[in-house]
Chains A and B, each alone.
Chain A
Amino acid sequence: MTAVGKNVRRADGEGKVRGSVRYGMDYTEPGALTGKVLRSSLPAARIVTLDTSTAASMPGVRAIATAVDAPGLSGMFFVLKDQSLFAKDEVRYAGEALAAVAADTEAQAEAALAAIEVVLDPHEPVLDPDHALTDGARLIHPDWENYETIVPGPRSGNLAWESRIEQGDVDAAFQQAYRVVEDEFRTQRQHQNSIEPHAAVARYEEGRYIVHTPTQFPFNVRGRTAELLGVRPSDVRVVVPAIGGGFGGKLDIMLEPFACVLARKSGRPVRIVNTRSEELRTCAPREGGIVRLRTAVARDGSILAQEGEIIADNGANSSGETVACANVASLVLGSTYRVPNARYVSKVVYTNTPPTAAFRGVNGPYCVFAQEMHLDHIARELGMDRRDIRRHNLMGSGDVMVNGQEVDGPFLQQAMDELENMRPWQQLETSKRPYRGHAIVPVTWLTNPGAGSASVKLNEDGTVTVASAATEIGSGAVATGVRQLVADELGVDFHDVLVTSPDTDTGGYDLGAQGSRTTFGAGNATIDAGKKVREQILDVAADLLEAAPEDLELADGSVHVHGVPDRQVGLAAIAATASMTSGPIIASGGFVAPPEQFDGGCMTGALFTHFTAATYHAHHAEVEVDPETGQVTVLRYAVVQDVGRAINPQMIEGQIQGGVVQGLGYALYEDLRVRGGQVVDDDLESYRLPIAADTPPIDISILENPCPYGPLGAKGAAEPPIVPVAAVIGCAVADAIGAPVNELPVTPFAVLQALRKQDESAA
Chain B
Amino acid sequence: MELQTVALSLDDEKIIALYWARDEKAITETDKKYRNYLFCVARNILQAQPDCEECLNDTYLAAWNGMPPAMPRVLKAFLSTIARRIAINRYHKNQRHSEMTVALSELEDILSDSEDISAQLDARELGSAISAFLRELPQRRRFVFISRYYMAEPIDTIAKHLGLSRSMVNKELAAVRKDLKEKLESEGYAL
**Bound pair (A, B):** no
